Amino acid sequence: MVSRNRSQVKDHLGSKVLNHPELRNTKATEYMSHEEKYRYNLSRATAMLKLIDEEGMDVNEISKVMSHTVSGFTTPDGNPLAVHQVMFVPTLMNQADDDQVSRWLGDVFNGTIVGTYAQTELSHGTFVRGLRTTATYDPASRTFDLHTPDVSAAKWWPGGLGTTANHAVVMAQLYTDGQPRGIHPFMVAIRDRETHRPLPGITVGEIGPKLGQNTLNNGYLLFDHVKVPRENMLMRNARVNEDGSYTKPSHQKASYGTMVFTRVAIALDTVDALQIAATIAARYSIVRRQGEPRDDGQEPQIIDYQTQQLKVLPHIAACYVLRASTARLWEHHTHVTSEVRGGDTALLPELHATACCLKALVTQDCSEAIEALRLSCGGHGYMTASRLPALYAYATAGATYEGENTVLLLQTARYLVKQAGGSHAPPAAGSAVTYLSRPADDTPFAVGSPAAYVAAVGRVARGRVTEVAAALQADRQTMPEADAWNQSLVQLVAAALAHGRYFVVREFAEVVSQQSSSRAIQQMLQLLFSVYLAHAVSRAEGDFITYGGLTPSDIRLNRRHLLRLLAELRPHMIPLTDAFDLPDRLINSTLGAWDGDVYRRMFEQASHSPLNTDEVPASFHQAMLRSKL
Ligand SMILES: CCCCC/C=C\C/C=C\C/C=C\CCCCC(=O)SCCNC(=O)CCNC(=O)[C@H](O)C(C)(C)COP(=O)(O)OP(=O)(O)OC[C@H]1O[C@@H](n2cnc3c(N)ncnc32)[C@H](O)[C@@H]1OP(=O)(O)O
Ligand SMILES: Cc1cc2nc3c(=O)[nH]c(=O)nc-3n(C[C@H](O)[C@H](O)[C@H](O)COP(=O)(O)OP(=O)(O)OC[C@H]3O[C@@H](n4cnc5c(N)ncnc54)[C@H](O)[C@@H]3O)c2cc1C
């Protein structure tokens, strides 16, 4: 099938999903039981999977229909097949060898095999090398023995594992010839394909309610000496031969590849959630009027309060800036993955560093922004029907899963300090870290000049990285490595975030400079960029004075500049959010519909409360009688 670019995908497939016979009629799920919600979301997830199959979608198309914009409509409480689609299938495609791919993929695509990615255990998520599920090879039977040594090593969290999947890619410690060989992936059948009952030796179930996404169907899994054929270790990278001899992978972290992909996907996708939240808050801020009437006799629209502009408008600018850099990362990931498949892993370390950093920066920024946008809607933003709580629950999960953000930022920092100290292979042409080996950009700071802001963001990144690299180097002379590292953790995280910010603004500077189709569009992008930059400085004033070359007077000027820019952006707020092209059914918010008919919708949703069915609900009398009041 011919590959389409992302916006064409949206036009073509968005309407296919919205008008699909099994998807177009939605139900409110707020009052459903846990089981009913699961059934509703699973049947819709299955319809989506069929659609993906029927359309023969490629990865870009899948990324669009699995994106939060669409999946918030198809599976509002979490997609029980998300991990199957986003992690299980890509792991097979990239880590199974050709024979294995041809053995399994037919059944995956016809829906006979439904999988999950089972890595995290009760006692270990972050420290992957510490996982304790074992896979011990026995050359006599040519099988692996999969075993959970105790309950703390139970797999815990995998999405879809609870009650949906019948297979799992299990990440386990491989032992051959009595030697530990590190963490490797194994394809394991966990439930019978016909009856769906757990197979012998397998204990499996669902872990229970969470802050949000309750139908992701996260599960637990224990193995009691389960025998798995040799051919079920995924062998594109490392191999175990029949006699038990072991062949190492070409890159020591080849088996971590799925995590890199998913981090990139999460970074891209969390911006979708921010776009929805920004659209809701923008529309509500126009409709909502409150306060002393003005000269025209009307109470002011809340967006005309300067404080409200600060709560809403920078996050609209962030949608544009973060969308551009995450889309670029997605393209870069595609390129590097094809190089790695061809055997060239030179670009992998930097891709890993960038994916870690962007996943962390974007999920942190977006969850903070969505919470600010929720607060900007006052009391009504606290209601489930505003959709804002669920958007927050979605974005903040992204700060933890697929690598807890602090831990990921430390991965990036590790790469950066090595680059700053010259102990890593020099960066390739076009690398995002060449600035560390060049003199600082001394473009003088000038309020109103995006180029001067970008240079200052670069000086902050450079200053943060070189300072912590030097501190680490000094500490290493006087204490063990682990202590020296721990002594600098807070500064390392700050350095990685500063690097991420620089990456993001450079990417957007390029987007603005390359935009040539319309002068008006370019001016609007420049305005959005200016807002993003001025806001970035206002959030980290200390850093810009300490490392960025700004004076206290620049800081004062920037504060005023930001407020002026917000006033300039305010008339464009609605067109800028309309441009996200989100139909009401995808936004699904009482506060964020296109027509602004907020109060009618709020009453309409209240009418669905089961407590309003009878004037006096039976439960009231029952409870009063029981408490003998
Ligand atoms: C189809 C698209 C659809 C789009 C839909 C949209 C989005 C999807 C939305 C939602 C998705 C749905 C659900 C999400 C489910 C989430 C699932 C999970 O959470 S799965 C579990 C994820 N777990 C983790 O991420 C664990 C985090 N920990 C680690 O990754 C590692 O433990 C570690 C922190 C990286 C440390 O590893 P280790 O101890 O082995 O390594 P170090 O000693 O620190 O480093 C050694 C060396 O290796 C390099 N390195 C580490 N990782 C990688 C890597 N992945 N790739 C390349 N290189 C790596 C590291 O840089 C070091 O290098 P060097 O310094 O040169 O020695
Ligand atoms: C909704 C959801 C879905 C998930 N889906 C899956 C799935 O499908 N498959 C799967 O395998 N897993 C899944 N997970 C698990 C997830 O990947 C882990 O929870 C995540 O990687 C964080 O690991 P942890 O829970 O061990 O956190 P911890 O590492 O215990 O984090 C706790 C604190 O310790 C700190 N910390 C830990 N190590 C360090 C360090 N070295 N340096 C500094 N600070 C440190 C962290 O910063 C954090 O503040 C899911 C989790 C969630 C919430």
pLDDT in tens, 138-153: 999 999 999 999 999 9
Co-location of 234 and 280 in the same domain = no
Least confident of 117-126, 152-161, 276-285, 341-350: 341-350
The pLDDT value recorded for residue 343 is 85
Domain for residue 469, yes or no?
yes
**Torsion angle, alpha carbons of 38, 39, 44, 46, to 10:** 100
| C-beta 500 within 6 A of ligand 1 | no
29 marked as binding residue = no
- Predicted confidence band at 258 (pLDDT cuts at 50, 70, 90)? very high
pLDDT in tens, 51-61: 999 999 998 99
Is residue 2 over pLDDT 50? Answer: no
| C-beta 401 within 6 A of ligand 2 | yes
Co-location of 457 and 499 in the same domain = yes
Mean pLDDT of 187-192: 98
Domain for residue 365, yes or no?
yes
Q: Count Cβ neighbours within 10 Å for each residue of 569-589 and write b for 16 or more, e otherwise.
A: bbeebbebbeebebeeebbbb
| CATH code, 540 | 1.20.140.10
Q: Count Cβ neighbours within 10 Å for each residue of 390-429 and write b for 16 or more, e otherwise.
A: bbbbbbbbbbebbbebbebbbbbbbbbbbbbeeebeebee
Distance of CA 318 to the CA centre of its chain: 16
Is residue 331 over pLDDT 50? Answer: yes
| C-beta 558 within 6 A of ligand 1 | no
Residue nearest to atom 26 of ligand 2 (CA): 125
Which of the listed residues 576, 601, 624 is the one where a domain comes to its end? Answer: 576
Is residue 1 over pLDDT 90? Answer: no
Atom of ligand 1 nearest to the CA of 125: 26
The pLDDT value recorded for residue 8 is 47
Residue nearest to atom 43 of ligand 2 (CA): 407
Q: Is 103 exposed, middle or buried (0-12, 13-18, 19+ CB in 10 A)?
A: middle
pLDDT in tens, 92-131: 999 999 999 999 999 999 999 999 999 999 999 999 999 9
| C-beta 465 within 6 A of ligand 1 | no
Residue nearest to atom 45 of ligand 1 (CA): 411
| CATH code, 234 | 2.40.110.10
Phi, psi of 593 (to 5 degrees): -70, 155
Residue-wise DSSP of 403-471: S-HHHHHHHHHHHHHHHHTT-SPPPPTT-TTGGGGS----PPP-TT-HHHHHHHHHHHHHHHHHHHHHH
Mean pLDDT of 452-458: 98
- Predicted confidence band at 180 (pLDDT cuts at 50, 70, 90)? very high
Atom of ligand 2 nearest to the CA of 405: 47
The pLDDT value recorded for residue 629 is 53
Is residue 627 over pLDDT 70? Answer: no
Co-location of 133 and 202 in the same domain = yes
Pocket-testing residue among 89, 126, 171, ligand 2, by greatest number of atoms within 8 A of Cβ? 126
CA 165 to CA 117: how far, in whole Å?
10
Half-sphere exposure of 353 (CA within 13 A, CB side): 25
Is residue 389 within 8 Å of residue 382, measured between CB atoms?
A: yes
In this structure, are strands 219-223 and 155-156 parallel, antiparallel, or unpaired? antiparallel
Which of 130-134, 338-342, 513-517, 582-586 has the highest mean predicted lDDT (pLDDT)?
130-134
In this structure, are strands 167-176 and 179-189 parallel, antiparallel, or unpaired? antiparallel
| C-beta 256 within 6 A of ligand 1 | yes
148 marked as binding residue = no
CA angle 350, 355, 360 (to 5 degrees): 130
The pLDDT value recorded for residue 252 is 86
Residue nearest to atom 16 of ligand 2 (CA): 401
Phi, psi of 205 (to 5 degrees): -175, -175
CA 311 to CA 341: how far, in whole Å?
45
The ligand with the least distance to the CA atom of 257 is 1
Measure Cα distances from 286 to 14, 112, 304, 603 in Å. Answer: 27, 50, 9, 19
| C-beta 119 within 6 A of ligand 2 | yes
Domain for residue 92, yes or no?
no
Q: 150, 149, 168, 145: which is closest to 158 by C-alpha? A: 168
Measure Cα distances from 484 to 141, 396, 466, 476 in Å. Answer: 48, 30, 16, 6
Q: 61, 83, 75: which is closest to 14 by C-alpha? A: 61
Distance 259 CA to ligand 1 centre (A): 5
Look over the chain and give the mean of its residue pLDDT values, rounded to a whole number: 95
The pLDDT value recorded for residue 4 is 39
CA 544 to CA 557: how far, in whole Å?
13
Is residue 233 over pLDDT 70? Answer: yes
| Predicted ipTM of the assembly | 0.98
Co-location of 244 and 310 in the same domain = no
Co-location of 71 and 143 in the same domain = no
| C-beta 249 within 6 A of ligand 2 | no
Which residue range forms the structural domain that includes residue 345?
257-291+298-426+442-576
- Predicted confidence band at 626 (pLDDT cuts at 50, 70, 90)? low
Distance 258 CA to ligand 1 centre (A): 8
| C-beta 487 within 6 A of ligand 2 | no
- Predicted confidence band at 12 (pLDDT cuts at 50, 70, 90)? low
Distance 400 CA to ligand 2 centre (A): 6
Residue entry with tokens 């204490």 = 479
The pLDDT value recorded for residue 377 is 98
Domain for residue 261, yes or no?
yes
Domain for residue 598, yes or no?
no
Question: What are the CB-based long-range contacts (under 8 Å, 24+) for 197-201?
Answer: 199/226, 200/226, 201/225, 201/226
Co-location of 285 and 226 in the same domain = no
Co-location of 141 and 41 in the same domain = no
Which of 98-102, 252-256, 426-430 has the highest mean predicted lDDT (pLDDT)?
98-102
Co-location of 552 and 569 in the same domain = yes
CA 137 to CA 178: how far, in whole Å?
9
Question: How many domains is the chain partitioned into structurally?
Answer: 3
Structure tokens at 597: 């008919």
Residue-wise DSSP of 327-378: HHHHHHHHHHHHHHHTT--TTHHHHHHHHHHHHHHHHHHHHHHHHHHHHTTG
Sign of CA dihedral 512, 514, 515, 520: positive
- Element holding 206 (H helix, E strand): strand 202-206
Atom of ligand 1 nearest to the CA of 407: 34
* Backbone conformation region of residue 184, classed left if phi is above 0, alpha if psi is from -120 to 50, else beta: beta
In sequence order, what are the residues at sequence separation of 6 or more whose Cβ sits closer than 8 angstroms to the Cβ of residue 606? 612
Q: 454, 437, 597: which is closest to 512 by C-alpha? A: 454
Tell me what percent of the residues of the chain surpass a pLDDT of 90: 89
| 604 is annotated as an active-site residue | no
Structure tokens at 210: 């969470």
Mean pLDDT of 169-177: 97
Co-location of 61 and 133 in the same domain = no
The pLDDT value recorded for residue 628 is 60
CA 307 to CA 302: how far, in whole Å?
9
Within 10 A of 437 (CB to CB), how many other CB atoms are there? Answer: 12
Distance 260 CA to ligand 2 centre (A): 15
Residue nearest to atom 33 of ligand 2 (CA): 404
Measure Cα distances from 365 to 243, 284, 315, 370, 500 in Å. Answer: 51, 22, 9, 9, 11
Question: What are the CB-based long-range contacts (under 8 Å, 24+) for 136-143?
Answer: 136/175, 137/174, 137/175, 137/176, 137/230, 137/240, 137/244, 139/242, 139/243, 139/244, 141/227, 142/229, 142/230, 142/242, 143/227, 143/228, 143/229, 143/230
Q: Which of 61, 350, 371, 402 is catalytic?
A: 402
Co-location of 73 and 152 in the same domain = no
Co-location of 235 and 282 in the same domain = no
Is residue 587 over pLDDT 80? Answer: yes
The pLDDT value recorded for residue 125 is 98
Phi, psi of 269 (to 5 degrees): -80, -30
Domain for residue 407, yes or no?
yes
Domain for residue 608, yes or no?
no
The ligand with the least distance to the CA atom of 492 is 2
Domain for residue 500, yes or no?
yes
| C-beta 532 within 6 A of ligand 2 | no
| C-beta 269 within 6 A of ligand 1 | yes
The ligand with the least distance to the CA atom of 359 is 1
In sequence order, what are the residues at sequence separation of 6 or more whose Cβ sits closer than 8 angstroms to the Cβ of residue 81? 42, 45, 46, 48, 49, 114, 160, 164
CA 591 to CA 216: how far, in whole Å?
26
CA 580 to CA 592: how far, in whole Å?
13
Pocket-testing residue among 74, 86, 356, ligand 1, by greatest number of atoms within 8 A of Cβ? 86
The pLDDT value recorded for residue 3 is 36
Distance 360 CA to ligand 1 centre (A): 12
Which of the listed residues 183, 218, 249 is the one where a domain comes to its end? Answer: 249
Residue nearest to atom 3 of ligand 1 (CA): 63
Mean pLDDT of 10-15: 70
| C-beta 159 within 6 A of ligand 1 | yes
Distance 528 CA to ligand 2 centre (A): 34
Co-location of 398 and 323 in the same domain = yes
Q: Model-level pTM greater than 0.95?
A: yes
Distance 81 CA to ligand 1 centre (A): 21
